[in-house]
Amino acid sequence: MNVIKRSKKKWIWITVSIILILLISGGAYAAHLYNKTSNVIEESHEKVGRDNEHSALREEAVDPIEDNVTVLFLGVDTSEERAYEEKSRTDAMLVATFNKDEGTVKLLSIPRDTYVYVPEIGYNTKINHAHFHGGPKASVETVEDYLNVPIDYYVSLNFEAFIEVVDSLNGITYDVPYEMEEMDSKDKTDAIHLYPGRQKLDGEEALALVRTRKYDSDIERGKRQQEVIEIIADKVTSASSIFKLNQLIEAIRPNLKTDLYMNDIKSFMEYGLDKDFNIEKINLEGDGDYMDDGLWYFHADEDSLIDVQRELRNHLDLPAYSSDDDDEYNEYDDHNDVDNNDDSFQENNDHQEDDSHIKES
């Protein structure tokens, strides 16, 4: 597992909107940014729609000021070209657990093709399809069911914002691992052509890099997403970017949804203020194959999944699994291993690397 040490940076994570909060200090410009960010958070606030608005795995609602909490980050594609409107898939799903006493964060990337049970529809399919069927609520419930970890909050960011954020920073520098051709945000085939080596990427190129998986795997893509997030966060928190924050906020404004309030976000400041602050990146191990429906799925190794579940629960100071829990989990998983070739659900996978066309019949 890879641990990222932080000594001079404040709280750093996937969504730039939250990073901006931690950069606000005294001064007229900072006050302007704070007020503007507050307005963006207020405009973007959208409840999940759960009973009592807290996780079913919690006896009561948590308070990030006092409790260990989780945040599910969703990278969604609602581009006009794909005509999804409110129905969109997630191209990135990351779970962060925050331990208040330790001042630590664990970050798990979930492969988008992971084969899971989706409570919203009652059968197994790819985890990124949960959002298509029920938005953030279905994604939250699916991740909770898969990891047996409560999801307390969510942050959803459209990839249009990702492009604008990178461009507003005048690009990012990344060591591209191999030559690649990938579609752009408008789904134009092979519009992006990158060669291996360290180079400066604009927003479209960076998006292609974090979305592609046809050259390696879903696991490797998740790692690239974590790396690019780290690079963006480092650049946002650098002194040279301070006067670009206004533009960054504008990039996020129409593309952000979250059930966090401003006071919730401010409570995360303590993590970044700790000079020994670190983020530990976690990844599931496993492999993939084609199933009877002709689609490719990622299957997490059972031991790896149980290890991750235990690690996240332990980080939240929740009771760990017992052997009886494992047996119960396996029986539940077998029970829900439902054939997803349901008459009420068809998936057209003409472009296998980008199974973007999900149709309801």
Taking only the tens place, the pLDDT of each residue in 185-215 is 888 889 999 999 999 999 999 989 988 877 8
Q: CA 59, 65, 67: angle at the middle one, nearest 5?
A: 35
- Helix, strand, coil abundance in the chain, percent, nearest 5: 40, 25, 35
Whether the per-residue pLDDT at 282 is higher than 80: the answer is yes
Look at residue 197 in the predicted model and tell me its pLDDT: 95
- Identify the band that residue 226 occupies on the pLDDT scale cut at 50, 70 and 90: confident
Q: How many angstroms separate the CA atoms of 358 and 360, rounded? A: 7
Look at residue 202 in the predicted model and tell me its pLDDT: 95
Whether the per-residue pLDDT at 11 is higher than 60: the answer is no
Span 121-175, pLDDT tens digits: 999 999 999 999 999 999 999 999 999 999 999 999 887 778 888 998 889 999 9
Contact 211, 91 (CB under 8 A): yes
Q: Which residue has the higher pLDDT, 72 or 229?
A: 72
Estimate to the nearest angstrom the gap between the alpha carbon of 87 and the chain centroid: 17
Look at residue 131 in the predicted model and tell me its pLDDT: 94
DSSP string, 144-211: HHHHT----EEEEEEHHHHHHHHHHTT-EEEEE-S-EEE--TT--TT-EEE-SEEEEE-HHHHHHHHH
Q: 94 is written with which tokens?
A: 């990351």
Contact 113, 221 (CB under 8 A): no
| Residue-averaged pLDDT of the chain | 78
Please report, in angstroms and rounded to a whole number, the separation of the first and last CA atoms in the chain: 43
Least confident among 103-112, 196-205, 302-311, 350-359? 350-359
- Check residue 110 and report its DSSP letter: P
- Identify the band that residue 278 occupies on the pLDDT scale cut at 50, 70 and 90: low
Q: Which of 228, 173, 236 minimizes the C-alpha distance to 9?
A: 236
Which whole-number Å values give the CA distances from 335 to 55, 161, 322, in the listed order? 23, 40, 20
Span 231-244, pLDDT tens digits: 887 777 665 666 67
Strands 104-109 and 278-283: what pairing?
Answer: parallel
Q: 38 is written with which tokens?
A: 């507050």
- Locate all alpha helices (DSSP H) within the chain, ordered by sequence: 16-22, 28-44, 129-147, 159-168, 203-211, 218-236, 245-252, 262-266, 269-273, 302-315, 323-335
Average pLDDT over residues 319-328: 56
Q: 134: Cβ–Cβ under 8 A, 6 or more apart, which residues?
A: 120, 121, 141
Look at residue 40 in the predicted model and tell me its pLDDT: 83
- What proportion of the chain, given as a percentage, has pLDDT over 70? 72
Beta pairing partners, 3: 280
Calculate Rg over the CA atoms of the chain: 20
Look at residue 236 in the predicted model and tell me its pLDDT: 72
Q: 273: Cβ–Cβ under 8 A, 6 or more apart, which residues?
A: 10, 11
Q: Which of 165, 103, 153 minimizes the C-alpha distance to 261?
A: 153
Whether the per-residue pLDDT at 344 is higher than 70: the answer is no
